[in-house]
Amino acid sequence: MDRTAAAERAQKLREELCYHNYRYYVCDDPVISDAEYDRAFAELAAIESSFPELVAPDSPTQRVGAAPVAYLPKYAHRLPMLSLQNVTSAGELADFEGRIRRLLELEATVPIRFVTEPKVDGVAIELVYVQGLLTSASTRGDGITGEDITPNARTIRTVPLRLFASPAGPAVPELLEVRGEVYIGRSAFETVNQRRLEAGEELYANPRNLAAGSLRQLDPRETAARPLDVFCYALGTVKGVALTSQWQLLQTLPSWGLPTNGEARQCDSIAAVEAEFRSLAARRDDLAYEIDGMVVKVDDFGLQERLGAISRSPRWAVAYKFPAREATTQLVDIVASVGRTGVITPVAVIAAVEVGGVTVSRATLHNLDEVRKKDVRIGDWILVRRAGDVIPEVVKPIKERRTGAERVFEMPEKCPVCGAAVVRDEGEVAFRCSAGLQCAAQRKEMLRHFASRDALNIDGMGEKLIDQLVDRGLVASRADLLSLTAATLANLDRMGEKSAANLVAAIDHAKHTTLARLVYALGIRHIGERTARALADYAGALDHLAAMSVAELTAIADVGPVVAASVHAFFADESVVEEIRRLRQAGATWPETARAAAGATVAAAAAGARPSSSVSRKTDFVIAGADAGSKAQKAAQLGVRILSEEDFLALLGAAPLS
């Protein structure tokens, strides 16, 4: 290939790769296969190595590998990068609108349109494109001067190295300064922190710190190793395009290849903004990245200009903040708490503090390994975090605040509840009380779980009541709980005749349950509600389930070897068999299905098949019982072979099970 042909080919490959990169990373909707992409990439790299002078700054080969720098150069923003004033209540949001109306002299009847965007918890960045080519990237800094992080920004897959025009949008402008937020997704954050924990390195407090740290690396290869991402949401200086509103901006940026946040909304009134805030708060935990609030912007750029800015914040926008999910507080003590399965968990007793909108006085430390790795000590100042519904956790100690009076936590040698020896199984992280259900703590947890909402759902059977029943020796087993009488209950603290009668009625009601609930209620290790349902659906009857081998259990969809071994070991225990007999005696019932194909399913599983309740093209056989109906029909459509149970068992050389 001569130089001219190579230059042309390289140009074409760059454009293609740039577009496919956008389809893959920004749209999440690739139009070519990974192999085709890799082939084009390799071809471009080969041309560039034969003709090094053809290496262009927007070549996808230039995303990684820039040499480390000694320091980050300063970068002066052409237009200051502003920050936002916060509001934290509907009242303050209404004040924001009131101020705008006053300044613009708008009557309450004239609508103002707003745009809302999630306030992604990351780092503000400015990207500068000259004639469509990425020429610089900088951090916000103090808003006037930031740091030049161009080589690092180039490694972010969703930052286009060159803009392109789409048929539906305007031409690529002469100059585009676009601002946005660089962030790291929640799961990537957890992966990085987990790795640091294993390596004994200090943890990042939150995704924002990680994103900031990654973006400000002196070695771009370090940045490249962190899965950073970006959402664009504002303009600096622009030349060569006229945009009139925030909403139009958010539609236009992607047409040039720049990613925007899909959760942005247009709102026609401040009431609609308030409704969107509530809706976003409800969606918060479902997003793949952390957000700390919602940014509210006046949509119209003309109105924005009339409103202007005071000191460092625009008058036309605010950040409507969620309650913070992190707080610092003091670790008063670490106590050992005994759970349902006897696992002893170190729990942090902390000076009460508000986290994520609720007051917290305890936080989990997971296990002793984690206490050691995080080097958390009694008396430390700590960072606690409460994400969504999960239990608050101790993120890390603030070592700078240590006085020397802090104490290291030791796991007790005896169970703090029953005094039995504490043991640690070979290869396990957890410490456990060796007394099993002889331990009152485990017994109480077992009963609490049994009566809980997703298990038997005994209305009114709360924690305090179970404590009393166990402490007074009135209840030792699940069957005892179901056999309680109004006379026994009426003797307890704060229990009148009426409530005793209500409770007995609730017990009677809860006795008639389903197999799935019962299996979950038994509190078998590793069996959550979903797995319990899968086991129940599959086995149809408790005795079937109890009789299944580990191999048969493993063949059930979603059941792995750990779960299978746990179920098998549970039912192999004599005392469990006895407990189930006593539950039945106490009047517990659950409908069981002697499924038409149950015999075949068990035999198939034993023969190494993976039985499934749905039919697809991948299905080898469908074994049709009397009520096969739609599935047999689907099998026929897909050309999947249909067998009767007898035929199938004959095929396996097995005898039908009852």
When binding is defined by CB under 6 A, the residue of 40, 47, 319, 327 that contacts ligand IVH is 319
- Rounded distance, CA 306 to CA 317, Å? 13
Is 129 near ligand IVH (CB under 6 A)?
no
Nearest approach, Cβ of residue 117 and ligand IVH (Å): 4
Is 83 near ligand IVH (CB under 6 A)?
yes
The full DSSP string for 504-563 is HHHHHHHHB--HHHHHHHTT-TT--HHHHHHHHHHH-SHHHHHH--HHHHHTSTT--HHH
Is 289 near ligand IVH (CB under 6 A)?
no
Is 84 near ligand IVH (CB under 6 A)?
yes
Nearest approach, Cβ of residue 353 and ligand IVH (Å): 24
> x/- site string to ligand IVH, residues 386 to 425, per CB under 6 A?
----------------------------------------
Is 211 near ligand IVH (CB under 6 A)?
no
Of the pair 143, 379, the CB lying nearest ligand IVH is at 143
When binding is defined by CB under 6 A, the residue of 249, 317, 545, 615 that contacts ligand IVH is 317
Task: Kindly indicate which of the ranges 76-84, 214-222, 277-285, 342-350 contains the residues binding ligand IVH, using the contact rule CB under 6 A.
Answer: 76-84
Is 287 near ligand IVH (CB under 6 A)?
no
> Is the dihedral angle over the CA atoms 563, 569, 575, 581 positive or is it negative?
positive
Nearest approach, Cβ of residue 83 and ligand IVH (Å): 4
Of the pair 86, 434, the CB lying nearest ligand IVH is at 86
Is 75 near ligand IVH (CB under 6 A)?
no
Is 126 near ligand IVH (CB under 6 A)?
no
> Is the dihedral angle over the CA atoms 515, 521, 527, 530 positive or is it negative?
positive
Task: Kindly indicate which of the ranges 157-165, 214-222, 312-320, 497-505 contains the residues binding ligand IVH, using the contact rule CB under 6 A.
Answer: 312-320
**Which residue in this structure is represented by tokens 């202007």?**
308
Task: Kindly indicate which of the ranges 52-60, 116-124, 217-225, 346-354 contains the residues binding ligand IVH, using the contact rule CB under 6 A.
Answer: 116-124
What are the two backbone dihedrals, phi and then psi, of residue 388, each rounded to the nearest 5 degrees? 65, -135
Nearest approach, Cβ of residue 61 and ligand IVH (Å): 31
The full DSSP string for 223-284 is HHTS-EEEEEEEEEEEES----BHHHHHHHHHHTT----TT-EEESSHHHHHHHHHHHHHHG
Of the pair 208, 568, the CB lying nearest ligand IVH is at 208
The pair of three-digit structure tokens given for residue 648, joined into one six-digit string: 């199938």
Site size toward ligand IVH, by CB under 6 A: 15
Nearest approach, Cβ of residue 87 and ligand IVH (Å): 12
- Rounded distance, CA 609 to CA 601, Å? 9
CB atoms within 10 A of CB 511: 16
- Rounded distance, CA 361 to CA 62, Å? 50
Task: Kindly indicate which of the ranges 77-85, 145-153, 211-219, 555-563 contains the residues binding ligand IVH, using the contact rule CB under 6 A.
Answer: 77-85
Is 87 near ligand IVH (CB under 6 A)?
no
Of the pair 21, 304, the CB lying nearest ligand IVH is at 304
- Rounded distance, CA 127 to CA 13, Å? 24
What separation, in Å, do the N-terminal and C-terminal C-alpha atoms of the chain show?
76
- Rounded distance, CA 251 to CA 170, Å? 11
Is 124 near ligand IVH (CB under 6 A)?
yes
Is 120 near ligand IVH (CB under 6 A)?
yes
Cross-strand bridge partners of residue 354: 359
Task: Kindly indicate which of the ranges 78-86, 130-138, 157-165, 281-289 contains the residues binding ligand IVH, using the contact rule CB under 6 A.
Answer: 78-86
Instruction: Give SS3 for 566.
Output: helix
- Rounded distance, CA 3 to CA 505, Å? 89
- Rounded distance, CA 542 to CA 562, Å? 20
Residues 317, 84 contacting (CB under 8 angstroms): yes
Cross-strand bridge partners of residue 81: none
Is 234 near ligand IVH (CB under 6 A)?
yes
When binding is defined by CB under 6 A, the residue of 48, 97, 126, 181 that contacts ligand IVH is 181
Nearest approach, Cβ of residue 111 and ligand IVH (Å): 22
Closest to 375 in 3D by CA, of 325, 331, 433: 331
Task: Kindly indicate which of the ranges 117-125, 160-168, 218-226, 605-613 contains the residues binding ligand IVH, using the contact rule CB under 6 A.
Answer: 117-125
When binding is defined by CB under 6 A, the residue of 211, 250, 295, 475 that contacts ligand IVH is 295
Measured in whole angstroms, the distance separating CA 253 from the mean position of its chain's CA atoms is: 28
Task: Kindly indicate which of the ranges 62-70, 80-88, 341-349, 354-362 contains the residues binding ligand IVH, using the contact rule CB under 6 A.
Answer: 80-88
Nearest approach, Cβ of residue 295 and ligand IVH (Å): 4
Nearest approach, Cβ of residue 294 and ligand IVH (Å): 8
Is 280 near ligand IVH (CB under 6 A)?
no
Task: Kindly indicate which of the ranges 113-121, 393-401, 566-574, 646-654 contains the residues binding ligand IVH, using the contact rule CB under 6 A.
Answer: 113-121
Of the pair 181, 552, the CB lying nearest ligand IVH is at 181
Count of CA atoms in the C-beta half-sphere (13 A) of 468: 13
Is 334 near ligand IVH (CB under 6 A)?
no
The pair of three-digit structure tokens given for residue 138, joined into one six-digit string: 């900088």
- Rounded distance, CA 114 to CA 275, Å? 13
Instruction: Give SS3 for 136.
Output: strand
Is 648 near ligand IVH (CB under 6 A)?
no
- Rounded distance, CA 115 to CA 517, Å? 46
- Rounded distance, CA 290 to CA 373, Å? 25
Q: Which residues contact 608 (CB under 8 A, 6 or more apart)?
A: 551, 555
Residues 239, 175 contacting (CB under 8 angstroms): yes
Active site annotation includes 119: yes
When binding is defined by CB under 6 A, the residue of 7, 66, 69, 82 that contacts ligand IVH is 82
- Rounded distance, CA 293 to CA 281, Å? 8
The pair of three-digit structure tokens given for residue 160, joined into one six-digit string: 């286009």
Task: Kindly indicate which of the ranges 112-120, 509-517, 539-547, 620-628 contains the residues binding ligand IVH, using the contact rule CB under 6 A.
Answer: 112-120
Residues 296, 269 contacting (CB under 8 angstroms): no
Of the pair 120, 267, the CB lying nearest ligand IVH is at 120
Given 12, 119, 321, 414, the catalytic residue? 119
Q: Which residue is nearest to ligand IVH (CB)?
A: 124
Nearest approach, Cβ of residue 112 and ligand IVH (Å): 17
| Strand-pair category, 133-139 with 123-130 | antiparallel
Of the pair 124, 441, the CB lying nearest ligand IVH is at 124
Is 619 near ligand IVH (CB under 6 A)?
no
Of the pair 295, 580, the CB lying nearest ligand IVH is at 295
- Rounded distance, CA 113 to CA 268, Å? 5
Closest to 544 in 3D by CA, of 622, 587, 612, 597: 597
Is 182 near ligand IVH (CB under 6 A)?
no
Query: What is the contact surface with ligand IVH in residues (CB under 6 A)?
Result: 82-84, 117, 119-120, 124, 140, 181, 233-234, 295, 314, 317, 319
Residues designated as active site: 119
